[in-house]
């Protein structure tokens, strides 16, 4: 890694630590729950995911904006959900959560800034949208999405290469092709079972009113959502089910969908979208830092940075037709077929202006 990249990464880490240890306000030693109500305002935004889609790159730039803070000593707090569905805690201690929000305002001695949650496990958490809406119906929701095959492959490689990671044992003895064959079969069987108890049939039309947990989901819808939510590497790439859940609880004007490719190739322009969405003034970011990619392949950490030319994009059959006949190419073709109906819903929502326009490559692959 070039020396200047290492220096940039260190500077980002130092700046974030400085931000977290800002000069305390006059009441920081007081019990936050005894403070005036303005210190206990609910969070105003949430970056809910998706994992392996670029939220670390977004976070490592946005942390420098003086009006944008987060509810955690680090990037993610995982307060209501973690990687494993059994750790979903939608009844978590809200007083403790309020304390976290108050601490951020106390540290900066300000009540006019945005305090948000950056837990990228919330997008696939079936009960999280209703929790967030209950805390603040006016909350702004930010989602970052990546080509579903690329996200699945990235998550697979991350877990396979790191023995201490949550799902390493699940993939340790698999190639990507064998994992896809096994996992797609499991998820499809689960979804087939869910369809048997859907009271409205298997209507996944993009034109139907959005259904969410506690907002129109029947038992079959709930079971289907769980099929994907309980498959972290593969199922979490089925975006329409989870995005629809948020659309059932929040108006589309309160949901900003970003895409990994625009964040990677036009980081500053993407930052301006986020600023406009949150209603804050533009900030002068470090342009050299903005070209770095964080938490990428072989650099798995929120503060680990690489330049774009250091990152090898995962191969795909669209870039190399010779891969079609290989196990990897066949697995990719299987995933295109698996994800296509879900991606078509996203494309339709984008064409109707409900979400941001999807990358053209998505239409070429999945439409």
Least Cα distance to 116 among 292, 301, 280 occurs for: 280
Kindly report the pTM of this predicted structure: 0.83
Report long-range pairs for 289-292 (Cβ below 8 Å, ≥24 apart): 289/8, 289/11, 289/12, 289/60, 289/61, 290/61, 291/267, 292/5, 292/8, 292/9, 292/12, 292/57, 292/60
Looking at residue 108, what is its pLDDT?
82
Token readout for 125 is 């958490």
Token pair listed for 272: 């301006």
The per-residue pLDDT for 100 is: 83
Q: What pLDDT does residue 288 have?
A: 63
Fold of 35-366: Rossmann fold (3.40.50)
Query: How crowded is the C-beta side of 74, counted as CA atoms within 13 Å?
Result: 10
Residue numbering of the annotated binding site for 3'-phosphoadenylyl sulfate:
146, 154
Q: Which residues have a catalytic role annotated?
A: 52
pLDDT tens digit at each of 367 positions of the chain: 444 443 344 344 434 433 333 334 444 455 656 777 778 888 999 999 999 999 988 988 888 899 998 888 778 889 999 998 888 889 898 888 888 888 888 888 888 889 999 999 999 999 999 999 999 999 999 999 999 999 999 999 999 999 999 999 999 999 999 999 999 999 999 999 998 887 765 667 777 889 999 998 999 999 999 999 999 999 999 999 999 999 999 999 999 999 999 988 888 899 999 999 999 999 988 766 655 554 455 554 445 544 544 444 544 444 455 456 689 999 999 999 999 999 999 999 999 999 999 999 999 999 8
Q: CB neighbours (10 Å) of residue 39?
A: 22
pLDDT attached to residue 180: 97
pLDDT at 206: 74
Burial class, 21, CB count within 10 angstroms (exposed 0-12 / middle 13-18 / buried 19+): exposed
pLDDT score of 311: 41
């Amino acid at each position: 890694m070039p020396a200047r990249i290492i220096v940039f990464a260190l500077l980002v880490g130092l700046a974030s630590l400085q931000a977290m240890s800002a000069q305390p306000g006059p009441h920081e030693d007081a019990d936050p729950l005894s403070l005036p109500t303005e210190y206990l305002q609910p969070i105003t935004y949430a970056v809910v995911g998706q994992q392996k889609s670029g939220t670390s790159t977004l976070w490592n730039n946005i942390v420098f904006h003086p009006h944008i803070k987060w509810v955690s000593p680090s990037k993610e707090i995982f307060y209501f959900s973690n990687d494993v569905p059994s750790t979903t805690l939608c009844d978590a201690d809200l007083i403790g959560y309020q304390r976290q929000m108050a601490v951020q305002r106390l540290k900066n001695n300000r009540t006019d800034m945005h305090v948000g949650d950056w837990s990228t496990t919330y997008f696939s958490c079936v009960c999280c949208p209703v929790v967030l809406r209950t805390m603040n119906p006016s909350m702004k929701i930010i989602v970052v999405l990546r080509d579903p095959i690329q996200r699945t492959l990235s998550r697979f490689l991350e877990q396979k290469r790191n023995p201490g990671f949550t799902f390493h044992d699940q993939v340790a003895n698999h190639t990507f092709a064998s994992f896809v064959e096994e996992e797609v079969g499991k998820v499809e069987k689960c979804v087939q079972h869910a369809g048997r108890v859907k009271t409205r049939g298997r209507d996944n039309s993009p034109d139907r009113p959005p259904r969410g947990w506690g907002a129109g989901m029947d038992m079959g819808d709930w079971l289907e959502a769980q099929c994907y939510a309980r498959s972290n590497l593969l199922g979490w790439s089925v975006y329409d089910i989870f995005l629809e859940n948020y659309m059932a609880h929040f108006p589309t004007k309160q949901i900003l969908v970003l895409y990994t490719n625009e964040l990677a190739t036009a980081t500053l322009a993407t930052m301006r979208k986020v600023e406009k969405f949150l209603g804050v003034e533009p900030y002068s970011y470090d342009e050299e830092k903005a070209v770095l990619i964080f938490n990428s392949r072989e650099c798995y950490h929120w503060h680990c940075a690489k330049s774009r030319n250091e990152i090898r994009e995962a191969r795909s059959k669209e870039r190399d037709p010779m891969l079609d006949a290989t196990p990897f190419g066949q697995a990719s073709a299987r995933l295109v077929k698996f994800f296509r109906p879900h991606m078509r819903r996203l494309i339709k929502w984008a064409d109707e202006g409900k979400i941001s326009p999807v990358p053209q490559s998505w239409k070429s692959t999945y439409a």
